[in-house]
């Protein structure tokens, strides 16, 4: 069965280039971004991992850990990080899971349950392993995205979505299309006008079911 939003992610024990640990222990009380790719030493994914490395300060500001997943082994990951750092111009301090047994890829529904990796595999054999998952401190999946092999992921969008999730969780609101930090937010329909006034102060009723307000502080 595939993982869905608000499902608890499996507490798998994973081997990485930074040691072996359980996913839940690694997440701890943090938010987490788990992002996967079909193979080490591939062009698009090298640019993506470089982008993630460049954003180390942004992840840290948000109390968020990042971890990569690949169907290749630990030694390949260690070698590949040199290329990642060359392209990204920043240290790749995050761990990369060595998912050569496909434990993580199958548990997160990135590959069919009966999938296997042939000898001399190419990125085409694992091309569906091109996903991003945002996981909350409660170990539940909050968001997932899947991309094709030929389109690089926009990690600025991942960061924007993370901001939206954290704001919604901490302030009891929703975020509208194209929202960025500092923009007005949506008051949930379940909150009546009187309670909305008490909680948020002034708000604008655009439609009976669409009320916008600014967040202070």
| Residues with active-site annotation | 45
Three-state DSSP class for residue 76:
helix
Give 140-144's long-range contacts (Cβ < 8 A, gap of 24+). Answer: 140/6, 140/7, 140/8, 140/9, 141/3, 141/4, 141/5, 141/6, 141/7, 141/8, 141/9, 142/5, 142/6, 143/5, 144/3, 144/5
């Amino acid at each position: 069965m595939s993982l869905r939003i608000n499902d608890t992610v499996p507490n798998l024990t994973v081997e990485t280039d930074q040691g072996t640990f359980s996913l839940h222990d690694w997440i701890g009380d943090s938010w987490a971004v788990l992002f996967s790719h079909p193979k080490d030493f591939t062009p698009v994914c090298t640019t993506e991992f470089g982008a993630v490395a460049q954003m180390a300060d942004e992840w840290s500001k948000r109390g968020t850990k990042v971890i990569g997943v690949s169907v290749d082994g630990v030694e390949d990951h260690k070698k590949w990080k040199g290329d990642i750092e060359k392209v990204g111009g920043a240290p790749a301090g995050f761990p990369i899971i060595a998912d050569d047994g496909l434990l993580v890829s199958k548990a997160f529904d990135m590959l069919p349950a009966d999938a296997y990796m042939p000898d001399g595999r190419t990125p085409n054999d694992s091309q569906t392993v091109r996903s991003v998952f945002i996981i909350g401190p409660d170990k539940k999946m909050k968001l997932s995205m899947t991309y094709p092999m030929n389109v690089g992921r926009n990690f600025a969008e991942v960061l924007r979505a993370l901001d939206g999730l954290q704001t919604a969780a901490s302030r009891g609101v929703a975020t509208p299309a194209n929202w960025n930090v500092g923009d007005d937010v949506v008051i949930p329909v379940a909150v009546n006008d009187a309670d909305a006034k008490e909680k948020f102060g002034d708000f604008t009723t655009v439609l009976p079911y669409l009320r916008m307000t600014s967040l202070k502080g």
